[in-house]
Amino acid sequence: MKKISIALTALTLMAMGAAAPAASAQPAPLPAAPKGAVAAAADGYLYAWDGFARGGAQCRWQQHDANWDTCSGINMRNRASSLENRGYAGAYEDVDLFYKPSWVGSRNCLPNGYYLDNLTGIYFLWDGNDGQGQSMNNNIASHRWTNNC
């Protein structure tokens, strides 16, 4: 009789553990700057590089840009591999990045002060638009400044 009682108690405890709600899933935060990366002072620009860790050709913008085909003579459309938002804190401090030109397609947002040294593991949002779930690496075509991510 004791064996049955112990077995039932063990089964009850296992069932209670299985029925317990799992911790709610939280969105993963954007990765932090790598060790040794120096935070640059705000200067009002969004920066993009075609290489990882601020390498290769660079482009920067203070305003919205509906098409990254031209930026001081550089075609940065679908070439960016690292980004940094050095915008000023306050209104329009964050940047929405879009999969297609003219602010079309899926997007993701880069908060003020963030630096991403490798866009390979960063993805466009699953929002029902073209480009959803695609890696942002070499896939950004336009951006606009926004009030919040």
Give SS3 for 15. helix
pLDDT at 27 over 60: no
Distance CA 139, CA 123 (A): 10
Please give the residue that has the higher pLDDT: either 73 or 84: 84
Is 120 contained in some domain? yes
pLDDT bucket at 25, cuts 50 / 70 / 90: very low
Distance CA 95, CA 85 (A): 7
Mean of the per-residue pLDDT values of the chain? 81
CATH code for the domain in which residue 75 is found: 2.60.20.10
Is 114 contained in some domain? yes
Quick one: how far is CA 4 from the chain centroid? Answer: 54
pTM of the predicted protein model = 0.75
26-138-73-51 Cα dihedral, nearest 10 degrees = 90
Span 47-72, average pLDDT: 94
The structural domain count of the chain equals 1
Please give the residue that has the higher pLDDT: either 147 or 71: 147
Asked if 109 and 87 count as a contact pair (C-beta separation under 8 A), the reply is no
Extract the tokens encoding 110.
Answer: 């880069």
Quick one: how far is CA 144 from the chain centroid? Answer: 15
Q: 133 lies in which domain range?
A: 43-146
